[in-house]
């Protein structure tokens, strides 16, 4: 049995469920909550509630939004003829931080991973294909990770997009093999975006 009170134990358990947080860190965070000012921590809990209640995913691209469609999709200065396809909203945010990309996005919410039972139907691929047809899209940038699942997904997408006659490029240049978009630095990402390579027909025989 632990020496913590019930609520402290519950708080530690909550922190332990966060990605990358082990038992020790969870304890430290719980003690921080205990010692911090009531005002700060009440603000913290209300912000969590607000995020859970107000933030949703843009119905066009999958970006985070507090309205039906996100600020990027609503921005008339963004080039709607270029769509950068990413795995998760965190990848979109990372590319957005580079400040160099002026097109729009499409979040798949995952990658094809047969071992985990995730096939193309589980991802937002149908939505992507209909956007390409509807919005006169000229270029698709595939920005999946360069691991096996990322490559499989990029290959599947390029095979399905090819017949729609749009330019397809892949950013993998500069991203180490097995590299995760989350871990690459801004300079590497900008190089990857600017040095993006067209997907050749060898992928699509
Ligand atoms: Zn959007």
- The pLDDT, as a whole number, for residue 205 is 38
Query: Rg of the chain's alpha carbons, rounded to an integer?
Result: 20
The residue among 23, 133, 20 whose CA lies nearest residue 12 is 23
- The pLDDT, as a whole number, for residue 135 is 87
**149 alpha carbon – ligand 1 mean position (Å):** 24
- The pLDDT, as a whole number, for residue 71 is 96
Above 80 in pLDDT, residue 188? no
**177 alpha carbon – ligand 1 mean position (Å):** 29
**6 alpha carbon – ligand 1 mean position (Å):** 42
The answer to whether 171 touches 73, Cβ cutoff 8 Å, is no
**137 alpha carbon – ligand 1 mean position (Å):** 15
**37 alpha carbon – ligand 1 mean position (Å):** 37
Above 50 in pLDDT, residue 141? yes
- The pLDDT, as a whole number, for residue 99 is 85
Mean pLDDT of 70-86: 96
DSSP letter at 22 equals: -
**182 alpha carbon – ligand 1 mean position (Å):** 20
State the Cα–Cα distance between residues 80 and 104, nearest whole angstrom.
6
- The pLDDT, as a whole number, for residue 183 is 62
- Name the helix (H) or strand (E) containing 169: strand 167-170
Above 80 in pLDDT, residue 181? no
Mean pLDDT of 18-36: 96
Mark the residues whose beta carbon lies below 5 A from ion ligand 1.
58, 60-61, 63, 70, 73
Mean pLDDT of 135-139: 92
- The pLDDT, as a whole number, for residue 24 is 96
**110 alpha carbon – ligand 1 mean position (Å):** 17
């Amino acid at each position: 049995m632990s020496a913590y009170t019930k609520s402290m134990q519950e708080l530690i358990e909550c922190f332990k469920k966060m990605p990358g947080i082990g038992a020790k860190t969870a304890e430290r965070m719980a003690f921080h909550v205990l010692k911090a000012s009531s005002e700060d921590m009440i603000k913290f809990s209300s912000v969590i509630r607000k995020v859970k209640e107000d933030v949703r995913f843009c119905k066009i691209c999958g970006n985070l939004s507090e309205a039906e469609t996100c600020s990027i999709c609503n921005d008339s200065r963004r080039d709607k003829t270029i769509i950068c396809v990413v795995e998760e909203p965190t990848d979109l945010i990372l590319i957005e931080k580079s400040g160099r990309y002026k097109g729009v996005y499409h979040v798949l919410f995952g990658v094809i991973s047969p071992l985990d039972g995730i096939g193309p139907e589980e991802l937002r691929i149908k939505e992507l294909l209909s956007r390409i047809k509807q919005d006169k899209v000229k270029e698709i940038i595939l920005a999946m990770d360069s691991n096996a699942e990322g490559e499989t997904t990029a290959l599947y997408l390029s095979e399905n997009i090819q017949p729609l006659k749009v330019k397809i490029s892949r950013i993998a240049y500069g991203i180490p093999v097995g590299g995760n978009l989350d871990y690459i630095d801004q300079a590497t990402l900008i190089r990857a975006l600017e040095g993006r390579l067209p997907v050749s027909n060898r992928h699509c025989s």
